[in-house]
């Protein structure tokens, strides 16, 4: 039995339902949100959790297989795909619909408005990165990768 199946089976044995949920976000927006959370918290003196770019990108690379595994699990009663704004892209029990809607949301191109918004958000991060005690060189490759992705999408 797969490791995540053990706690799910325990819940099912207790009469509970198991829900699988996936956030369908293009990788470039995920990287951007990762930086925003870090710099937002750090700029106001809160503890800020840095996620190494390699860890984030590894998780993103494994998402398609993870989503397919959740979709294929016979232990999951309900499957939901949402977007970054909380919009429901799919809610039901069909594993193929769940995986398909997630794939569409994950691989979709950005709209012109989203691209412009992402560039504005990246500029805001740039201003925070220049504040002494807030900025970190660790974010340089992430910022460069986001810029390249946005340029490629333009």
* Predicted local distance difference test score (pLDDT) of residue 2: 54
Q: How confident is the model at residue 153 (pLDDT cuts 50, 70, 90)?
A: confident
CATH number at residue 133: 3.40.50.300
The secondary structure element, H or E, covering residue 103 is helix 95-107
**For residue range 6-63, what is the model confidence (pLDDT) as tens digits?**
566 666 677 667 788 999 999 999 999 999 999 999 889 899 988 998 999 999 999 9
DSSP for 31-74, written as a single string:
HHHHHHHHHHHHHTT-------HHHHHHHHHHHHHHHHHHHH-T
**Which range of residues forms the domain containing residue 100?**
14-153
Number of domains into which the chain is organized = 1
In a domain, residue 28? The reply is yes
**For residue range 86-110, what is the model confidence (pLDDT) as tens digits?**
999 999 999 999 999 999 999 999 9
- pTM of the predicted protein model: 0.83
């Amino acid at each position: 039995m797969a490791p995540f199946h053990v706690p799910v089976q325990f819940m099912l044995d207790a009469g509970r339902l198991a829900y699988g949920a996936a956030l369908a976000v293009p990788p470039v927006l995920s990287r951007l949100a990762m930086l925003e959370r870090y710099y937002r918290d750090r700029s106001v003196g809160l503890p800020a959790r840095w996620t190494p770019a390699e860890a984030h990108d590894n998780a993103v690379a494994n998402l398609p297989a993870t989503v397919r595994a959740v979709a294929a699990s016979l232990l999951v009663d309900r499957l939901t795909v949402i977007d970054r704004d909380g919009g429901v892209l799919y809610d039901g029990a069909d594993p193929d619909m769940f995986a398909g809607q997630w794939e569409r949301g994950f691989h979709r191109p950005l709209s012109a408005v989203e691209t412009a918004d992402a560039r504005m958000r990246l500029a805001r991060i740039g201003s925070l990165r220049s504040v002494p005690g807030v900025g970190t060189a660790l974010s340089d490759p992430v910022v460069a990768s986001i810029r390249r992705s946005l340029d490629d999408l333009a």
